[in-house]
Amino acid sequence: MAVKVCRGTGKAKGFGCGKPLQYSERNGIKTYDAKYGLGKKCKCYNKWLSSSDEGMKILSKATLVAKKKVEKQKNKEDKERLKQMKIDSMSPDKYRATYVQPLINKIARFIDYGNPCVPTGNYEGKMAGGHYTSVGANRTICLNLHNIFIQSFASNSWKGGDDKKYRASLIRIFGEEYLDFIEGLNSHRSIQLRKPQLIEIKEKAQKIVLDLEKNLEVLSPKERIQKRNKINVELDIYDTDYLTFKI
Ligand SMILES: [Zn+2]
């Protein structure tokens, strides 16, 4: 086979130095280091790009694409920096409310997957994780899974969440002893989580959410308590006596 030489084709017709082109060979297939028939080593391709009308069109298009790419990357970095600044300037409680609480509520909702809204018994409507003792009433125990159960949005937003019904339902589903335990959570010493702790909790919670999401199953009341025990221990936020309910 004749050696390929640097000779422009297509848009680059009429250009080229005529010297043999460089190539690399793999499995008997030669790949020439050329574009539009013009060699790169001999610089004919570059010369053509910067000296011909057709070449310059390609060049300016490539420059534009590269510029846009750089801009896009810069915007992305700016956004990330801004987000990080926002996170850094957040109070721990704001961070908890924004990034941690939604995950913990989701864990409770996934544990209770397929079960009805606790206070109302409704299966319909969008479900959330709703606190028994509200976040406003006790900030300390707001991440304790024994204080959060599946609750419909409608019920959760109705006058602080159907309190009496919530209590009665917990007794009906899980028994009086468990309700005593839940209400006893209120005697946990006051804790104030710092940002680094919250970040750690968030990372753990994210993994747990992904894991639960992959293995959604309808659990019995006993299993729902056991799962709460297990994940509470994994999250490791509260004092031992408040982590697990023995059944
Ligand atoms: Zn050439």
Residues by chain with Cβ below 5 Å of ion ligand 1: 6, 17, 39, 42, 44
CA of 11 to the centre of ligand 1 (A): 15
Measure the CA–CA gap between 85 and 124, rounded to whole angstroms.
40
Identify the band that residue 158 occupies on the pLDDT scale cut at 50, 70 and 90. Answer: low
159 pLDDT above the threshold of 80: no
Residues 154 and 238 occupy one common structural domain: yes
**Is 205 a residue whose pLDDT tops 80?**
yes
Q: What's the domain range around 51?
A: 1-88
In a domain, 19, yes or no: yes
Q: What's the average model confidence in pLDDT over 212-223?
A: 97
Residue 138 has pLDDT above 80, yes or no: yes
Q: Do both 84 and 102 map to the same domain?
A: no
Domain assignment present for 35: yes
Give the bridge partners for 29, in sequence order.
26
Instruction: Say if residue 56 is in the same domain as residue 150.
Output: no
Q: Based on the fold, state whether residues 84 and 148 are members of the same structural domain.
A: no
Q: Rounded to the nearest whole angstrom, what is the distance from the C-alpha of residue 234 to the centroid of ligand 1?
A: 66
Query: 203 CA distance to ligand 1 centroid (A)?
Result: 57
Ligand 1: centre distance to CA 42 (Å): 5
C-alpha 118/C-alpha 53 separation (Å) is 73
Q: Which residue has the tokens 């707001």?
A: 142
Is pLDDT above 70 for 160? no
Q: Are residues 121 and 200 in the same domain?
A: yes
Distance 39 CA to ligand 1 centre (A): 5
Q: Ligand 1 mean position to 22 CA, how many Å?
A: 10
223 and 113 belong to one structural domain: yes
In a domain, 247, yes or no: no
| pLDDT, mean over the chain | 94
Q: Is 25 exposed, middle or buried (0-12, 13-18, 19+ CB in 10 A)?
A: exposed
Q: Which residues of 148-186 are buried (b: 16+ CB within 10 A; e: fewer)?
A: bbbbbebbbeeeebbeebbbebbeebbeeebbebbeebe
Domain count, the chain: 2
Cα–ligand 1 centroid distance for 36 (angstroms): 11
